[in-house]
Amino acid sequence: MEGRVFATALQRPLSEARTTLELAAPQPATQRVTQAQVSLAAAGVISTAAAARLISLRGRRSLAAQKSRHQARVLVSSVLRNATALEEAPQKLAEEAIKAAVATVDKDDVPGKEVLDDEGCRVSYVSHQRDASSCQQVDEDGLPLVYSVTKLNEYWGRSPGELTGRWGDFLGFATPWIAKAFGAGVTGNLKNEEANLAREAVDAMQTLGPTFIKLGQVLSIRPDVLPPAAMKELSRLQDEIATFDSDTAREIIRKEYGCELDAVFSELSDEPVAAASLAQVYKGRLLDGTEVAVKVQRPNALPTISKDLYVMRKAAGVVTELVNNLTAQSTDFKALVETFGEGLYTELDFQNEALNQIKMSELIEQTPNCKGVIVPNVFMEHTTRRVLVSQWIDGTKLSELPAERIKAGIRDAQEVFLNQLLAWGFFHGDPHPGNLLYVNSGPDEGKLVLLDFGFVAQIPEEDRDNIVTAVIHLGTQNWDGLIDDLIALKFLAQDCNRTTVTPVIQRVLRQYLVGGGAAAMNFSALGQDLLTMTTEIPFSIPPYVSLLARSIVTLEGIALKGNPSYQLVGEAYPYVVRKLLERSGDGSAQLTMALRGLLLDANGRVQSVRLSALLQAAVGVAAAASDRQGFIDFDAVPSEGADSEQLVLFLLSPSGRSVKPLIVKELATTIDLVVRSATRSGFLQFKQALKPPLPLPPVPLITPRGLKLKAPEDLLDILEPKLGRDEEIYLQSNAQVFLGLLGIEVDPNKGLDLSVSPKRVMDVLGALASQKDDDVRNAVSQLLSQRRGRGLVTEWWGDVYNNLQEVWGKRLANV
């Protein structure tokens, strides 16, 4: 209860707080007195005795109640006269809340639970490319070289004084800053204090060292998430990182190599050419003349970071205490910190980074559409845990180039990123703008180069499938399916109350769909809206999602500089489709059901416009933002897409096999309508051409009841009946995509116009009358012989004919 009252006091603007304290409204006077006494007493603005006196005024009626309200006004007015105390009240409230949370965490400071594999190594999403024995290694002081909460706690448990001192350093910066930020927010002064708060935060991060600098870099990934003042200050963490002494760097290289530098390098720059939170880079030349980048780890980085991660885990406990009191969020902030911490700790192993870099390079080289991105070569023979040597490449940050160059480059970047996420399950976990460069010279000039593979994460195929189905279920507004996906992805608990959860998720997410009217269609806006859900439902953020989010928002942030209307989800649709078709074609029941849910309507009929958009996406063509009506719009067909011949080639390829069962029936229906329309039109023209008109001989017709002779006109009405109004509408509208696949165009003014010779008409009628499979196939194929879709009919004839036989068989049964 006190936590909720505290939340109310913090979130209410000062003007509303004054109104509350005035107790002017007649009905909730009792409740308002209660809130006033709790808030003011907690802030130290009034004494406990005065607060008790205020609370004793509850429950009175008529004149007594009026007297009570008068007494309340007198007390509160005396408080309001002290304006300074009132302005400081929210800050004091925040300080008290933080102290209480710290006290609670101090009593229950236990590490998170770790899942270990058979080799005793931590199981996580962070990529560990080295052999299993490395997770047992320690340095010369016994400090674990591979991240383990338990082992790190055991190590630092032998030096509690150092941990206490570091925790105190952190609280010395954090407590007053958070309290000041809360105070500014509650009093409506946050806008004026933004620059000061940002400057103080960045100064504190730089003072606290590399771990907190890295954290600041994570926070600085989007210009549209944080205010300009914050972005300006946080940019210092990318561009103004202090270097360490070059003599120290050379000594680290000597110690790692066990030899003098001139035994490896013919040249090494006197000063670093770049500095980062964990290392700095020198330009060098190997003895064979190859130019290289030499990355050297900062001295004492491992012990410093391991202590800081202890501090961060403890701070996460404080955040959890505060959030649990203020919201319904159930995020495990310790788990988030441990994911960040493990990634950061793993970045200190440069041999693991080199192996990540080699694997990413191989994946990119094996993927045809990723040729616009390169990864520097690694020299493993010169790489150790603290020194990494790789190919030197001259480049410029993509984010600093003109908008047109960014737009061109982002296409290559998104190709690699989306393959990392959906195809490879092996993705770059720290893609800040400094790690994505435009190559300025050399054989790879004009390409993008991806740098820094210290933090790479791996996503299991099961989770990748769940991500795809979540996108499909959201776009089709299958809310039950989406809840299942969110449970599988661990955003929601298995036993969540769907009755409570579903309306909230619908309200927040529906605005990003077609007709939803969201003001902005990007991940920043979506992320802000998702945060609002945490105050209403137990919505958690899985640790690996924080890694994905960093990658997504970084890429989108760079792209938005080149194209303010850029929408990553829309651009990602071809990759989602590719994954959907690939996995459903491999027999995944989950993805097959998602594909059916995407394409079929409530009556089980294929939605032709949606199929057209899917086929365009399957061949790599995404609808432009101007063609889409929402964050996710599965009915957006590109205004300039692939032609029908390309779509047919896709359907006949192995990748198209999962679509075939869904569209064969619709394709057969379309063929039937085309054949009926063409043969009736051709037969009429044939009769009109007879001069003089002559009776046509009867045609033998094989029916279920035996052989019968039928006049051609009667046979035509039996086998190729006139199209009904609904069928004409279908042929003019819904069948457009299928007609396109058959190479048949429909003039919007003239309708379907097929010129068919009398011989073709009689061949079709004769084949259908004889019911011989080969004759029917040849007749229909010949009817379409001038059409690009003939190959589709020929290749799929067995399945198409089965459907056609069912239709024709029903007609013959009535003869």
Q: Name the 3-class secondary structure at 622.
A: coil
Q: Name the 3-class secondary structure at 125.
A: coil
Q: CA-CA distance, 292 to 274, in Å (whole number)?
A: 13
Choosing from 412, 430, 633, 672, the catalytic residue is 430
- CB count within 10 Å of CB 412 equals 20
H or E segment to which residue 575 belongs: helix 568-585
Q: CA-CA distance, 485 to 593, in Å (whole number)?
A: 13
Q: CA-CA distance, 226 to 512, in Å (whole number)?
A: 21
- Please state at what angle helix 160-186 crosses helix 149-156, rounded to 10 degrees: 110
Residue 430 known to be catalytic: yes
59: alpha, beta or left? (left if phi > 0; alpha if psi -120 to 50)? left
Whether omega for the bond prior to residue 692 falls within 30 degrees of 0, making it cis, is yes
Rg of the chain, C-alpha, whole Å: 35
- Whether 545 and 569 have beta carbons less than 8 Å apart is answered as no
- Whether 789 and 674 have beta carbons less than 8 Å apart is answered as no
- What's the number of CA atoms in the CB half-sphere (13 Å) around residue 79? 28
C-alpha torsion angle, residues 123, 126, 130, 136 (rounded to 10): -50
Q: CA-CA distance, 247 to 678, in Å (whole number)?
A: 86
Closest among 223, 230, 225, 4 to 97, alpha carbons compared:
4
Beta bridge partners, 439, equal 395
Those residues with Cβ within 8 angstroms of residue 240's Cβ, 6 or more apart along the chain or in another chain:
none
Q: Is 556 exposed, middle or buried (0-12, 13-18, 19+ CB in 10 A)?
A: buried
For 269, the token pair is 């720059």
H or E segment to which residue 568 belongs: helix 568-585
Classify residue 399 by its DSSP letter.
G
DSSP, residue by residue, 14-54:
HHHHHHHHHT-SSSTHHHHHHHHHHHHHHHTSS-HHHHHHH
Q: Is 567 exposed, middle or buried (0-12, 13-18, 19+ CB in 10 A)?
A: buried
Q: Is 772 exposed, middle or buried (0-12, 13-18, 19+ CB in 10 A)?
A: middle
Q: Where are the alpha helices (DSSP H) in 81-132?
A: 83-107
Q: Where are the alpha helices (DSSP H) in 652-796?
A: 660-689, 712-719, 725-732, 736-741, 758-770, 773-783, 790-795
- Whether 636 and 570 have beta carbons less than 8 Å apart is answered as yes
For 141, the token pair is 């002081």
Pairing of strands 387-391, 456-458: unpaired
Q: Name the 3-class secondary structure at 459.
A: coil
- Whether 417 and 551 have beta carbons less than 8 Å apart is answered as yes
CA distances from 707 to 247, 777, 807 (A): 102, 21, 20
Q: CA-CA distance, 353 to 148, in Å (whole number)?
A: 18
For 133, the token pair is 């024995």
Q: CA-CA distance, 35 to 6, in Å (whole number)?
A: 9
Phi, psi of 62 (to 5 degrees): 40, -125
Q: Is 703 exposed, middle or buried (0-12, 13-18, 19+ CB in 10 A)?
A: middle
Q: CA-CA distance, 64 to 70, in Å (whole number)?
A: 10
Q: Which are the catalytic amino acids?
A: 430
